[in-house]
Structure 1
């Protein structure tokens, strides 16, 4: 079991008491007031309608390698995204803010997937669930193009803000900061023991 807390002091106290610190992340928000201009894509690259295909699954698997701060891409991630597009489960994709990036070979090499408004935030906002670009397509501005599309598509949908969660150590954090995202809150995840009696509060 995992406990997600916004209280950094409480999370530190639980870890000091013997629990395992699983993940530290920062929730960011963009107020959509000033948006970056859409970048010019490299020759042969285009943004395409959101969706899921085998090429995109391979791109995400490659993007989330063994050294990624969020860990490897899992089959469950693919299942969750397919469920969003096939059954709006647990939430439907925000199509105006989601897109695939397609290369000169017409194959998907990355995407941004958004939803909104989402039920797990304390404010009304769109949310970036996943943004990824395959390693062979990185370094040419595709991530920034996908992020800009998400910002503009969220405002087009009439939502006041766009949020995301970025794990500590993820190099994409610089791209989010440069695009105008600002810190909303910290979220720290602590693993709970199988036997809850093993933890006594306040001791």
Structure 2
């Protein structure tokens, strides 16, 4: 049987029973994932790629292994996203900065101003692509019913301008079920274009770090896409590279 479940993991086998790769099957807000796909020692990458195309068809494949990702791409597919998985171990946290006059850090929440501001911030040239209505629905679901995960109240926050309107946020959940280590996770951080250039993104990130430690969690994680200028901010804050995160959509079988 090509897929064999073993405790918390799944093994991908060749049709002749040879074990090829280790992975986790999960669902991310309706998107079926083959997560953290790792070749087993000695398994040929082209064989793993072909078997994955068949037995994981219709799933989004995540792997930290660049050579495996290239082998899957070589079957005629496109790399959807290349990113870096990072962690902060919450020691030596940066001090909370002084905000510009009239700007405040407010409790987390979701409103129309945030939806409009983030849609403008995540334009078509953003490394993660344009903001989608599905992004808004997912965040609303987190605040309305805690699905797929509830916000971590101590670490999540909005930034509010002198006019009393939301201009950005950091959305943090934790502990999250999709990591092998215990950590909180930054799901989204963004500032509306009209409010950028004031250090507000940095203030939100520092708030998330301190709020995660206050919640008693040992780490704060995030994933940053290649070419995202926010990477410089994460390096400055003390986040450390954990692994690569390469994503490919596997088409359904014809």
Q: Which has the higher helix share?
A: 1
Match of 1:23 in 2: 81
Residue 150 of structure 1 is aligned with which of 202, 208, 219? 208
Which protein shows a greater Rg?
2
TM-superposed deviation, 1:31 = 0.4
Aligned equivalents of 1:90, 1:195: Cα separation in 2: 28
Q: Does 1:129 pair with 2:180?
A: no
TM-superposed deviation, 1:20 = 1.2
Give the secondary structure class of the aligned counterpart of 1:96.
coil
- Identify the structure with bigger relative contact order (alpha carbons < 8 Å, sequence gap 6+): 1
TM-superposed deviation, 1:190 = 1.1
Match of 1:118 in 2: 176
Deviation above 6 Å: which 4+ runs of structure 1? none
Aligned equivalents of 2:217, 2:251: Cα separation in 1: 39
The one-character-per-residue Cα deviations of 1:123-149 (angstroms, maximum 9, x if unpaired) are 000000000000111111000000000
Give the alignment's Cα RMSD to 1 decimal: 0.9
Paired residue total = 196
Match of 1:161 in 2: 219
Residue 94 of structure 1 is aligned with which of 152, 169, 178? 152
Residue 250 of structure 2 is aligned with which of 167, 192, 202? 192
TM-score by length of 2: 0.76
Residue 39 of structure 1 is aligned with which of 97, 104, 108? 97
Give the secondary structure class of the aligned counterpart of 1:95.
coil
Q: Which has the higher strand share?
A: 2
Structure 1, unaligned runs of 5 or more: 197-203
Aligned equivalents of 2:221, 2:176: Cα separation in 1: 10
Aligned equivalents of 1:127, 1:119: Cα separation in 2: 10
TM-score by length of 1: 0.95
